[in-house]
A and B are shown apart, each in its own frame.
Chain A
């Protein structure tokens, strides 16, 4: 799974990639850039984008993140310029905002997500910021109150940096593997319910260490879903207790550097 960053500005693209890579802690995601006409001239170049797609391309395909205007036109043209239709079919141009989309896409790709899922996560990348800035009256994300027969449990986030991108990605993988529909809600902050199968939505929980998160599951494996998530939380979603590397989305400001 490869990513391509298209921007008018090469320094901007480099910095955005650095920001995203900080979330990866050494996992390998191929991120190529096609940005600027050179180090200082703003502009986009469809040929350079095409070449970046070819460099990033693999069996799982490529998701392209763009800034605005000609970046989008040039990326579309780059698809036209790809002679191999099989390659073209494995490329998704993402409508996500560049920085937010890239960070979420990189984390999702590092977690083993396929192209469709990476693209979908990237598209929802603004949700975390929207939820953070929404007025308390807005309840756009709330779903809650499922039908009867659902299973409910409460997990406590033990990770020192909260439910940041990597543990959140682990949680989402777990939910997706089960035949159950899972809603999560941060009880500590009294936030809205979000679907547990979306990394972008789970990021909006802003669940810090010590926060309690309600798990409501329905479907054939509802009970199993609750049990597995509570167990996963006890194991800090696979992260070590000490020396937790990397930045945590919900808990700035003292962010240790990753290895």
Chain B
């Protein structure tokens, strides 16, 4: 898994966010402040522009640039949350140009830890956690079973989608949606929806293309 593939993942994610921008904002208008789609789109467009302007050479540099851009450009709570996710994933991968599938899985788990540190959310709170945690678990499980990275990322993407769907009957316990109490039940969580797009982008990118091998370990 190369830094270039990470860049492709980020761009694909930005494309998916742009395509689903209105849908994300609609979801957020039901239980939030109706800006998630436009905020994330603004942030990811800026992140891609930053990568274009000065393409980073290492995985940490690339994902840190994405994270810091989101932190500054998104504006809502998704900024520090997705920003922390990218910063932690990048920090875990380090100043390298390629990583093993296991290193990527460990990095995503570190990213999940960052999201928990920042948002203090746990299972069933109807947040991005409910899509991200099952995806990270699925990625680990598939790699442990000997699957190659492309298959493992497909599993992770499916787990994220299932986690996203599972947020609909939940009652929100974090963020602005929690002000709604029981009225948040019946609406799919926008943050979990965006996480499903992030994993869909990973599964559809070239992240898994070179990934069956265990680099040099």
Contact = CB atoms under 8 A, between A and B. Distances in A.
B4 interface: no
A226 B77 CA distance: 51
A43 B39 contact: yes
Contacts of A46: 71-72, 79-80, 83
A44 B81 contact: no
Given A43-B39, A69-B175, A77 B71 contact: yes
A73 interface: yes
A4 to B, nearest CB: 16
B176 interface: yes
A47 B71 contact: yes
Contacts of B39: 43
A8 B79 CA distance: 13
Interface residue tally on A, bucketed by range: 10 to 19
Interface in A2-49: 8, 37, 41-48
Interface residues of B, number: 19
Contact of A76 (B68, B72, B118): B118
B77 A73 contact: yes
Chain A interface SS verdict (over half): helix
Contacts of B73: 37, 45
B113 interface: no
Nearest to B70: A46
A46 B79 CA distance: 8
Interface in A38-63: 41-48
Contact of B84 (A8, A70, A77): A77
A37 B73 CA distance: 7
A69 B68 contact: no
A79 B79 CA distance: 15
B75 interface: yes
A77 B80 contact: yes
Contact of B75 (A37, A76, A77, A81): A37
A69 B35 CA distance: 14
27 contacts: A37-B73, A37-B75, A41-B75, A43-B74, A43-B76, A44-B75, A44-B80, A45-B72, A45-B73, A46-B72, A46-B80, A47-B68, A47-B71, A48-B72, A69-B76, A69-B77, A70-B75, A70-B76, A70-B77, A70-B80, A73-B81, A73-B118, A73-B119, A76-B80, A77-B71, A77-B118, A81-B71
Interface of B: 39, 68, 71-81, 83-84, 118-119, 175-176
Closest 9 CB pairs of A and B: A43-B75, A70-B77, A73-B80, A77-B80, A46-B71, A45-B72, A47-B72, A74-B80, A37-B75
